[in-house]
Amino acid sequence: MIFPCIDLMNGKAVQLIQGEKKALEEADIDSLIEKFKPFKQIQLIDLDAAKGEADNINLIKEIIKKINCRVGGGIRTIEKAKELIDLDAKKVIISSSVFKDNNIDFDFLKDLNKTIGKNKIIIALDTKKEEVVIKGWRQGTGINIFKVIKELEPYCDEFLCTYVDKEGMLQGTNLDFFKKLRNSTTNDITAAGGITTLEEIKELEENNINSALGMAIYKEKIDLKDLKQINSN
């Protein structure tokens, strides 16, 4: 499955290179929603909330009314996760809240599962050189993704794994990394970070891995018509 991405910053859709340098900005979010409506879901990320600087919750509420969304960015409490599910987010994506003092916060995960259910939870395991990074990719945890993914498997329905080393660079992603991840868990996996070509997407699909696409769509490196065809197969 393919998930087009809308990343929010200051009320606009943006695309960043490795989570820092802004590569483009789009104020007309309604036009993006129209483009993405043929897809079953989009991935909606509040970058301001992820970085702890502000939030775009009012805009998120409006977007959720118009298109099916999985929502992430700055979801650090049970209350915030429940609020988004109650607003009809299909799933919530959690990241920083999974870890406390560079260890898994099992109490938080157990409470979240009881409150909204495992099938509504995506755990984001974003990495730089295989190290899980949090808080908008700005803080390392010292945790290797391949050592932690199996422990987290019982607490979510899916993993969103961003290969930050290639994020936003349009240089291709690391397919071997994602294939290794596929062999590390039975949960669904959505890959992100540097995916640039249809060939990469098809190879990920062949390995039962979803794709979350941002820069390649916005820079028109990949035609939406081709993506729709893959998604309908």
**Tokens, residue 189:** 């996996």
Given the residues 48, 126, 157, 223, select the one marked as catalytic.
Answer: 126
Query: Any catalytic annotation for residue 7?
Result: yes
Residues 6+ apart with CB under 8 A from 1: 40, 41, 190, 210, 211, 231
Query: Any catalytic annotation for residue 126?
Result: yes
- For the chain, strand residue ranges (E) read 2-9, 12-17, 21-26, 42-46, 69-72, 91-94, 99-100, 103-104, 121-124, 126-128, 131-134, 139-144, 158-162, 188-192, 210-213
- How far apart CA 176 and CA 107 sit, in angstroms, is 33
Q: Please report, to the nearest 10 degrees, the dihedral formed by the alpha carbons of residues 198, 211, 15, 95 taken in order.
A: -160
- For 80-228, strand residue ranges (E) read 91-94, 99-100, 103-104, 121-124, 126-128, 131-134, 139-144, 158-162, 188-192, 210-213
Q: At what angle do helices 175-182 and 145-152 cross, to 10 degrees?
A: 40
Catalytic residues: 7, 126
